[in-house]
Amino acid sequence: MKGLHVMTESTTTTAPARISEGSGSTPLLEVRNLVKHFPVRSTGVVRRVVGQVQAVDDISFTVQRGSSLGLVGESGCGKSTTGRLVTRLLDPTSGEVRFEGNDIASLRPKQMLPFRREIQIIFQDPYSSLNPRHTVGSIIGTPLQVHNIVPKNKVLSRVQELLEVVGLNPEHYNRYPGEFSGGQRQRIGIARALAVRPKLIVADEPVSALDVSIQAQVMNLLESLQKEFGISFLFIAHDLAVVRHFCPEVAVMYLGKIVEVADRESLYTQPHHPYTQALLSAVPDVRQAQVGGRRERIRLFGDVPSPIDPPSGCRFRTRCWKAQDICATQEPPLQALANGHRVACHFAAPPTIEDARASQAAAAEAVTLESEGAVADA
């Protein structure tokens, strides 16, 4: 990897002043009580605010230097919004986003500029994330010019180094994104993020739009980049297998809240939140299939409630087989168990076979009720 060494040298010599290093104990990224509500407006001339989509509601987490945090949850749970809040593509409603101790949650665009070099984002869709009218060289060269990272006459050679780093032919700098495959385009997006030599990359489902065979290659690329450059990742995904492979620590989100955070070993073997259990239960298990055994799966019933009008108390209670009266009245706080495992549930416990049966019974009941309702309607 000769490109890597060249890259390191050129940045250390020509880069203008970067943000001062925080002390060793400060985490790279610390998010505290982050909230993002999108106003819902009525249609018409006056457009009053009639509600708030509570996309992200009071979440806190940290990403340590050189480590990675996985953010998992189903579509619409607020994980992508979180990623855009951290990169300040969206403005938080309230809360803190501390990068190396500096709160960037309410910085103006000019003040934000130095942090743009430290925090980068890789997008899910490799098609809409690359400007179809720009050549690859211009796409990857833009950050170099915006931040004056290398002199103008060095931009091209630097772009070619970056292309080599992400495993693309450096001769292709003159081509347009339309001439590349999905996997190659995602590599271009990665090269663009790498151009500023960030400390933190928010990867917003970077492989979920790719073919499975290409997913592995891109994941390997990300992993090697993390090792080579010590980049931390906030890795957003809905695929638990991907996250398990990549992230030492995993947070599970449901309807704008973090419901469980733990290191991967603890989370995958001892999930305490019913929602985490349901998610893990949905992952196909090759070993089990090989011996021909049938697992008792946890079934969820119903749909995710609307984030405009979330359920009172615990947001998961409407779909939870363990729900009691207390779940509707009191919101469970994120409580610490042993070894940093934290969970927000009044009845947190590792899963048992009874959980699966109870959930299936509850799901069956819900289906019956629904069909009866349909009959009654008719």
Partner 1 sequence: MRWGRARTGEAREGLDPHSSELETEQPVRSIEGRGPWLLAWERLRRDRVAIGSFVVIVLIFLAAIFAPVFTLLTGHGVDTQYRTTGLTPDGLPMPPSAEFWLGTDDLGRDILVRIAYGARISLLVGVVATLITVAIGILVGLAAGYFGGIVDTVLARLVDVVLSFPFLLFAIALVSITGPSLAVAIIAISAFSWAAVARIVRGQVLSIREREFVEAARSLGASDWRIMFVDVLPNVMAPVIVYTTLLIPTVIVIEATLSFLGLGVPPPTPTWGGMLNDAISYYQVAWWFIVFPGAALVITTLAFNLLGDGVRDAFDPGSDRR
The residues of the shown chain that bind partner 1, judged by CB under 8 A, are 1, 84, 87-89, 109, 112-113, 116-117, 119-121, 123-125, 128-136, 142-143, 146-147, 164-172, 174-176, 178-179, 181, 183-184, 189, 192, 196, 214, 216-221, 224, 241-242, 244-246
Contact 244, 319 (CB under 8 A): no
Tokens 């009639």 belong to: 50
Which residue lies nearer to partner 1 by CB, 210 or 258? 210
The strand order across the sheet containing 29-41 reads 49-63, 29-41, 94-99, 102-103
Tell me the closest approach of the beta carbon of residue 109 to partner 1, in angstroms: 8
Q: Round to whole Å and give the CA distance between 329 and 308.
A: 18
Tell me the closest approach of the beta carbon of residue 377 to partner 1, in angstroms: 38
134 φ/ψ sector (left φ>0, alpha ψ -120 to 50, else beta): beta
Tell me the closest approach of the beta carbon of residue 84 to partner 1, in angstroms: 7
Which residue lies nearer to partner 1 by CB, 228 or 309? 228
Which residue lies nearer to partner 1 by CB, 70 or 274? 70
Contact 150, 196 (CB under 8 A): no
Q: How many CA atoms lie within 13 A of 22 on its CB side?
A: 17
Q: Round to whole Å and give the CA distance between 312 and 208.
A: 32
Which residue lies nearer to partner 1 by CB, 145 or 330? 145
Tokens 């009845």 belong to: 347
Tell me the closest approach of the beta carbon of residue 294 to partner 1, in angstroms: 22
Q: Round to whole Å and give the CA distance between 139 and 188.
A: 8
Q: Round to whole Å and give the CA distance between 277 and 295.
A: 13
φ and ψ of 207, to 5 deg: -120, -5
> What is the chain's Cα-based Rg?
23
Tell me the closest approach of the beta carbon of residue 376 to partner 1, in angstroms: 42
Tell me the closest approach of the beta carbon of residue 91 to partner 1, in angstroms: 12
Which residue lies nearer to partner 1 by CB, 58 or 223? 223
Tell me the closest approach of the beta carbon of residue 7 to partner 1, in angstroms: 14
Which residue lies nearer to partner 1 by CB, 179 or 365? 179
Which residue lies nearer to partner 1 by CB, 133 or 294? 133
